């Protein structure tokens, strides 16, 4: 154990002793503390100096160390901050369920993150170990990102770009620290405070949070298992004068929808006609099960699609790296915003991401992941059908990490979530996924969390809870 | 070599061949490409499919592969974006000199980052290697940060908190992805768009950038080698109704100023009297040379000081981790903003930061760093005095990474920067460090960059350039 952590431990033990000791009590001698903790006199002295610096003990040279007269632990008054802070510019939603930590002993279907067994742990470990030997540790990468990683993102999109379209160039790519950062940057740079942004309803809660954070005015467009309603989208553009539409065309969260090529064409026609941007969030790119993702960005070279492609969920939660692809002045405005926000993305994280996705084993991992997700999805679907038939699935998603189940309109959704929780099952209420009022009682059920073997039990708990309502 | 990278190489070679081939030309057969590149037929086919998908070649089954009729590389028209983007909410400054990359063959005194020999490279490598074996790779840390790292930041500040003040608690700490992120969060959460923020003038350019990004209204308070003018500070609070003052009380960038205890008391009196916040940026905490840092936050337990303490510059540029310490409702508002912005900081980077700063070797490194910086500073000071006496140093900084030199009012600063640059020496014009008009002709000269042995040459070039004016 390091010297520092030993002295921290000794200090902690002494704090406990002091807590029940009268003021003025003499502490055990350094010699006896050395013996008691098996530490060096230097370490013990360090712990004592720390406590003295904090005014908890006082040392009388040649005599010993004593507990100081106890100060009344006065509660600090921060009331003055109320006036200084004023009302917030815009109220941020509470910490969404998808980010809330839960104890290990519950079965969690609420998280937006994949379980450990679904990430390429060995690949990532090896990459960190390799990169730890390189200059990525001491070099500052360019603000737009590592050139090799920019090229990789551009090449990935170019590989599905049909002939007749100019493929994205490496210089169109801006490397950003995760897709949330990309949403904020796109909303700030392309929309701006107080201006309208069209979003699907329901949509990804991170986008709702980013809209609140940037103060853009969210305009919901109804969406479902087939994607957004193109007529409603066109009307929303006309009525609001919006210049941007945020969407997830592939395996949307929470609905799982994947746009057909025809819908993608229709949406892009509308977007082009209104001189607008499609902010395409391709978060589930690596999570296709029975379909491949078809980025809409691949069929646009007019700068209308701003494409965000994160690697954090599929590579590792610790590798917060995403690519944002944009063209024309929009790209420059995005880069300026992103620079002001984060200056640059850790060179180590960029190098690790590049290392992982360029390994042949990455493709093998993605193929296995596809199967694992499909098996998990099928088990959860079958379990719900058997044990919770009232949790109705409007569609079986072909990709993504979750099911979107509709409960009867008559139930009390909050109570169902609470009762499941008391039975050890955490499910996410659909409400957080609606930018305005929810269109019904929905649950978002992730099949990507831990303990997939428990899906039948989960379904049973859910079915019984609904039946009791 | 992986299958993927071979086929990429073959595709690149074919592109070059195609670039000089007439439209309709037949490509070499698969068999000859296999022989030429020593690759498998599968790999060659993959390269050809890629080129076909991009519309560069077309395959006629049973006949061969042909160069497609060359499309005119039409320049895409992004003019429509002008209307969609509108005027920016606030103009961001250009990429500051301190972030601009320069070739290796020039001597760079413009950067804000320490040279490789000043960072604990071996410690950081070892930490990454150790952490790569842990669960930090797959676990999502709490949004406020790794508890152990929160405790470390709190303990560091507590260790210099005098008795009579309640020391910061681990729960007062929010871990953020670097100090720039902390400035943005503090400006958004505590000030808000359009509201006044007092800043020293000159001040850190990153703070000027963050103010522009968040749209807060910057109010400059004159500052110099002794820190800000307390009378001017009090008047600025009175006249603007500002509720926050951003400053670097220890080894400020660019002036190097360290506040005396008396000045710190005066500033805090003013801040408290106006029910305001001091946003204390302690970026140079680890860069004391002939003095230790004395965080003002250590003498405040009323929630008036919001303290930002970054590890990126002293641990590693790749470890973008900082601690922000705030109390009361301000802390909650900051946490909410920070969550919406970055959700959480990479668990690997947090674990690496914690690993490094809790090693006994970290203290040894800091002691050596102190000496290295002092030697570099002394050499640059002596070189300037000998060869560039017109670059006047108002004070010799006791910490930090740079000198702040004033040139005669009559010179053309831009020309001097350009002429030094043509002579292979990059120096930073002081203008970027002033929130409004610069108060004179200043240069910021970093002694923390590469090639300190060249300081006498740098001074000679600078002296001759000034003399020619």
Q: Are residues A346 and A379 in the same domain?
A: no
B452 in a structural domain: yes
Q: Are residues B298 and B439 in the same domain?
A: no
CA–CA dist B442, B428 (Å, integer): 9
Q: Are the Cβ atoms of A181 and B206 closer than 8 angstroms?
A: no
Chain A hits for B277, Cβ within 8 Å = 84
Q: What is the pTM of this model?
A: 0.84
With 0-12 / 13-18 / 19 or more C-beta atoms within 10 angstroms meaning exposed / middle / buried, residue A467 is: exposed
Q: How far is CA B444 from the centre of its chain?
A: 16
Q: Are residues A174 and A255 in the same domain?
A: yes
Q: Are the Cβ atoms of B343 and A99 closer than 8 angstroms?
A: yes
CA–CA dist A199, A223 (Å, integer): 9
A91 in a structural domain: no
Q: Are the Cβ atoms of B337 and A213 closer than 8 angstroms?
A: yes
Instruction: Indicate if the pLDDT at residue B4 is higher than 80.
Output: no
Q: Are the Cβ atoms of A164 and B359 closer than 8 angstroms?
A: no
Task: Sort strands A64-67 and A107-108 into parallel, antiparallel or unpaired.
Answer: unpaired
Q: Are residues A267 and A374 in the same domain?
A: no
Q: Are residues A339 and A405 in the same domain?
A: no
B91 in a structural domain: no
Give A26 or B290, the one with higher predicted confidence. Answer: B290
Q: Are the Cβ atoms of A181 and B81 closer than 8 angstroms?
A: no
> pLDDT digits over A227-284, tens only?
999 999 999 999 999 999 999 999 999 999 999 999 999 999 999 999 999 999 999 9
Q: Are residues B129 and B196 in the same domain?
A: yes
Q: Coil, helix or strand for A318?
A: coil
We report the CATH number of the domain holding residue A425 as 3.90.1150.10
Q: Are residues B296 and B372 in the same domain?
A: no
Chain B hits for A82, Cβ within 8 Å = 329
Q: Are residues B147 and B265 in the same domain?
A: yes
Q: What is the mean pLDDT of residues B222-235?
A: 96
Chain A hits for B165, Cβ within 8 Å = 55
**Which of A314, A332, A360 is the last residue before a domain boundary?**
A360
Residue B265 is encoded by which pair of tokens?
């008391």
**Interface-testing mutation among B84, B122, B194, B213, with chain A (most A C-beta atoms within 10 A):** B84
Residue A357 is encoded by which pair of tokens?
């996705």
> pLDDT digits over B320-360, tens only?
999 999 999 999 999 999 998 888 999 999 999 999 999 99
Q: Are residues A231 and A125 in the same domain?
A: yes
Give B13 or B295, the one with higher predicted confidence. Answer: B295
Chain A hits for B310, Cβ within 8 Å = none
Q: Are residues B356 and B370 in the same domain?
A: no
Give A187 or B59, the one with higher predicted confidence. Answer: A187
Which stretch of DSSP H or E encloses residue B179? helix B179-186
Q: Are residues B197 and B221 in the same domain?
A: yes
We report the CATH number of the domain holding residue A246 as 3.40.640.10
Q: Are the Cβ atoms of B164 and A55 closer than 8 angstroms?
A: yes
> pLDDT digits over A320-368, tens only?
999 999 999 999 999 999 998 888 999 999 999 999 999 999 999 999 9
CB nearest B340 (choices: A74, A213, A341): A213
Q: Are the Cβ atoms of A89 and B192 closer than 8 angstroms?
A: yes
B368 in a structural domain: yes
pLDDT of residue B72: 46
pLDDT of residue A391: 96
B84 in a structural domain: no
pLDDT-derived band of residue A74, with 50, 70 and 90 as boundaries? Answer: low
pLDDT-derived band of residue A223, with 50, 70 and 90 as boundaries? Answer: very high
CA–CA dist B59, A199 (Å, integer): 42
Chain B hits for A360, Cβ within 8 Å = 2-4
> Are A176 and A281 spatial neighbours (Cβ–Cβ below 8 Å)?
no
Range of the domain at A385: 98-118+363-467
A326 in a structural domain: yes
| Number of domains chain B contains | 3
């Amino acid at each position: 154990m390091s010297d520092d952590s030993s002295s921290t431990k000794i200090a902690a033990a002494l704090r406990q002793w002091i807590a029940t000791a009268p003021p003025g009590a003499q502490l055990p001698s350094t010699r006896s503390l050395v013996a008691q903790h098996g530490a060096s006199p230097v370490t013990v002295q360090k712990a004592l100096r720390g406590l003295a610096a904090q005014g908890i003990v006082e040392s009388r040279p040649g005599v010993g160390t004593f507990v100081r007269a106890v100060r009344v632990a006065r509660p600090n008054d921060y009331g003055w901050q109320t006036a200084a802070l004023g009302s917030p510019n815009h109220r941020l939603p509470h910490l969404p369920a998808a980010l809330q930590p839960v104890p290990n002993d519950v079965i969690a279907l609420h998280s937006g993150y994949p379980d450990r067994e679904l990430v390429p742990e060995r690949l990532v470990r090896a990459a960190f170990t390799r990169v730890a030997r390189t200059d990525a540790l001491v070099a500052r990468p360019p603000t737009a990102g590592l050139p090799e990683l920019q090229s990789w993102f551009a090449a990935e999109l170019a590989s599905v770009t049909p002939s007749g379209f100019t493929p994205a160039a490496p210089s169109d790519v801006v490397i950003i620290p995760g897709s949330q950062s990309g949403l904020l940057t796109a909303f700030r740079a392309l929309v701006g405070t107080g201006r309208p942004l069209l979003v699907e309803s329901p949509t990804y809660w991170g986008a709702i949070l980013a809209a609140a954070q940037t103060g853009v005015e969210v305009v919901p467009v109804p969406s479902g298992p087939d994607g957004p309603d193109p007529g409603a989208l066109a009307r929303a553009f006309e009525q609001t004068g919006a210049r941007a539409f945020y969407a997830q065309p592939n395996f949307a969260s929470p609905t799982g929808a994947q746009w057909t090529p025809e819908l993608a064409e229709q949406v892009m026609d509308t977007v082009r006609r209104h001189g607008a941007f499609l902010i395409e969030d391709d978060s589930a790119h690596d999570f296709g099960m029975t379909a491949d993702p078809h980025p809409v960005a691949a069929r646009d070279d007019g700068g209308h699609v701003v494409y965000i492609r994160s690697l954090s969920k599929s590579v590792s939660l610790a590798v917060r790296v995403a690519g944002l692809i944009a063209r024309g002045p929009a790209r420059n405005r995005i880069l300026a915003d992103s620079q002001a926000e984060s200056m640059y993305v850790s060179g180590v994280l960029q190098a690790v991401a590049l290392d992982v996705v360029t390994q042949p084993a990455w493709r093998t991992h993605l193929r296995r992941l596809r199967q694992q997700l499909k098996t998990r999805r099928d088990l959860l679907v079958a379990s719900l059908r058997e044990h919770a038939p009232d949790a109705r699935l409007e569609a079986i998603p072909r990709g993504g990490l979750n099911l979107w189940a509709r409960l009867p309109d008559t139930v009390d959704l909050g109570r169902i979530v609470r009762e499941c929780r008391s039975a050890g099952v955490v499910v996410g209420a659909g409400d957080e996924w609606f930018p305005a009022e929810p269109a019904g009682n929905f649950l978002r059920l992730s099949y990507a969390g831990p303990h997939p073997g428990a899906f039948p039990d989960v379904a049973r708990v859910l079915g019984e809870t609904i039946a009791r309502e």
